[in-house]
Structure 1
Amino acid sequence: MPLTSPTRIPESPPDAAPSPQGYDGNSPFPQEGSAPRREGGERLYVAVTAVIVVLPFVALGLAGWLLWGRLIHPTDIVLGLALYVLTGLGVTVGFHRGLTHGGYRAVRPVRIALAVAGSMSFQGDVIGWVATHRRHHAFTDRPGDPHSPYRYGTHLRGQLRGLLHAHVGWLFRNDPTPHERYVPDLLADRDIRAVSRAFPLLCLLTLALPFGLGWAIGGSWLYGVTGLLWAGLVRIALLHHVTWSVNSLCHMIGERPFRTRRHDRATNLWPLALLSFGESWHNLHHADPTSARHGVERGQLDPSAAVIRLLERCGWVHDVRWPTADRVAARRI
């Protein structure tokens, strides 16, 4: 089976603009002008973002009420876990370690399947997701970073405001990332372009699946509704907040055993390791972005790396960038 031949991703993508001179790592970021956007398009952007962000929140409240009434079935739990793993690995293995950083090369069907699975996480289309994350690495925790918790400075009020911004507030900003600069390789990939265009349909699919399977397994529409609630909306909300916590908490709380670039404060936060499939070993990731494994210390769980290893043994991924002892040692503080 032929391998795809994506462009190798540089460890530090090119900056969209030079960082302001004299930034000291503690001051609030300078105000940046937003790219012009038509008023109608701005309203649509905010409305769609609000639905994606708020709807799972509403589902959590409804789920709490239903749980109080014990309206939850084993089917909901099994479907929820299965879809959480499927879509979560689509984000971590597919969007992040594969497409964003080029930590491995995949055969075409696996590349497409992972992009589809990641798109079903409700976190945005694959091209936009990758572009934003490459920009984050280009400007980590300095002016230009789309979701740094240090945007408003390092004093207490600024940190609290920055934490909210890094977790969810950045999604509502008119701060587009230029795709032509950050993801020319994906724009040239017709398969990834097709998956990106299919994002709205994949959002419907990620909700229709638990509804349809719940109804089919349980035998009534009520099982379909609870499947939609628990394995659909609540599962999406949980994965959202785990992913956003890597953006926020994993730049403020935790350990920093590895050296990163100036101003980069990425940390390792072990409580999130399993839920994030190993993404919360964030300090090592920022020290060595193309590494296919983030949890390099003894006992550090990294399910995403285990999946990449399995795919490698099956012959479905190739040229995996596994960390070496010398490479890890060179980055240790």
Structure 2
Amino acid sequence: MTISPDVLRTNSENSEDTAKSAPASGEPLPSATLGGDQRRSVEQITLLLFITVPFIALVAAVPLAWGWGVSWLDLGLLVGMYFLGCHGITIGFHRYFTHGAFKAKKPLRVALAVAGSMAVEGPLVRWVADHRKHHKYSDAEGDPHSPWRYGETVPALLKGLWWAHVGWMFDEEQTPQHKYAPDLVKDPVIRRISRQFVLWTAVSLAIPPVVGGLVTMSWQGALTAFFWGSLVRVALLHHVTWSINSICHAVGKRPFKSRDRSGNVWWLAVLSCGESWHNLHHADPTCARHGVLKGQIDSSARLIRWFEKAGWAYDVRWPSRKRIDARRREEAAEAA
């Protein structure tokens, strides 16, 4: 089995890593990673808990911060763990594993897989398979999480936004991982990390209270660190990531040509680590930088540049002026 260009939606530019690691025709694939292609009831219940409990903490954080404040330690843990997981998703799960925007040496490859897993957004292989399928059918029938699923009227769009943001994750039918991510299923290291998702979730949730408890030498310090650095952080990162599926496919400027409704939403740029420059991403999926226009902050692209300078990343697909101009809409090009 090989990965077709349509699956990756890379405008005829697939990752060489993906092509080389895809199994040959007739060669049996290893068993699927954690979760398989059917979501069981226990998974749905667990998912519901991981959505509702951090969200309740996020809602409670506002009056708590207003009434009692938040310590610099807890705030530092929240911000540090947030951007570790966020960049693990944006650089690792998304730009590297899904789209092959660059190549990485093994230590960086493993580090990105672990960092992305600590974002608590699901096993790596399932995440990649879902996203590759999204690009194949973006905002059309077959897209796992299009906000236009139910139509274009206001009630239909509101229902679709809920589906794209949260609802789709409870669908019992899952994206076939052997079909959409055979390269990762075949990789024993990545397959192992994906199967260890529960472990990396536990590590991610445990780091803040352990650090908070040791620094303050108190159970109260551990508890507040868990609240801010684990629960609030996970909820905030989840909803920012899900907003790329929902908000960025419903509103935003579209200076580049794409076959879907992906848009640029500037106010999500910092929190999404550059992912909300979503229109360019769908116009040029393998590009390592999403914020290609003046003033568009893209911290993920900056880190990839640093990885490249350190020799950890190579063959990075940076945007060129010719490539950018070729994807501009005519009205946008005239305005520029």
Identity score, percent: 49
Distance in 1, matches of 2:211 and 2:190, equals 28
Which residue among 105, 108, 122 is the counterpart of 1:107? 105
CA shift, 1:42, in A, is 3.0
Give the Cα separation in 2 of the matches to 1:144 and 1:255: 24
Name the TM-score, length of structure 2 as normaliser.
0.87
How many residues are paired up? 303
Instruction: Name the structure 2 match of 1:66.
Output: 64
The match for 1:150 is 148
- The 5-angstrom pairing of residues 232-271 of structure 1 reads 232-261=230-259, 264-271=260-267
Cα separation, 1, equivalents of 2:91 and 2:300? 6
* Matched residue SS, 1:44: helix
1:305 aligned residue (297, 301, 306) = 301
Asked if 2 retains the 8 angstrom alpha-carbon contact of 1:90 and 1:119, the reply is: yes
Give 2:209's aligned residue. Answer: 211
Query: Separation in 2 of the partners of 1:229 and 1:54?
Result: 14
Partner of 2:270: 274
State the match for 2:17 in structure 1.
none
Q: Provide the rounded CA distance (Å) in 2 between the counterparts of 1:328 and 1:185.
A: 29
Residue 285 of structure 1 pairs with residue 281 of structure 2: yes
Report the Cα distance in structure 1 between the residues aligned to 2:261 and 2:146, rounded to whole angstroms: 10
Matches within 5 A, 1:195-210: 195-210=193-208
Contact 2:58/2:236, CA 8 A, preserved across alignment = no
Residue equivalent to 1:126: 124
Contact 2:2–2:182 under 8 Å retained in 1: no
Q: Quick check: 1:9–1:100 contact (8 Å CA) kept in 2?
A: no
Deviation at 1:65, TM superposition (A): 4.4
Give the counterpart letter for 1:240 in structure 2: H
> C-alpha separation between the residues in 2 aligned to 1:330 and 1:67?
48
Contact 2:77 2:208 in 1 (8 A): yes
Which residue number in structure 1 is paired with residue 6 of structure 2?
12
**Unpaired segments ≥5 residues, structure 1:** 1-6, 16-34
- Cα deviations by residue, 1:83-103 (Å, 9 ceiling, x for unpaired): 111111000000000000000
| Partner amino acid, structure 2, of 1:239 | L
**Displacement of 1:71:** 5.4
Residues 71 and 226, structure 1, Cα contact 8 Å, conserved in 2: no
Q: Distance in 2 between matches of 1:246 and 1:9?
A: 25
TM-score normalised to the size of structure 1? 0.87
**Closer/same/farther in 2, CA of residues 36 and 274 from structure 1, 3 Å limit:** closer
Instruction: Quote the Cα distance in structure 1 between the aligned partners of 2:65 and 2:253.
Output: 36
Contact 2:263-2:279 within 8 A present in 1 as well: yes
Does the CA-based 8 Å contact 2:147-2:162 persist in structure 1? yes
Distance 2:205 2:47 in 1: 17
Q: Secondary structure, in 3 states, of the residue corresponding to 1:130?
A: helix
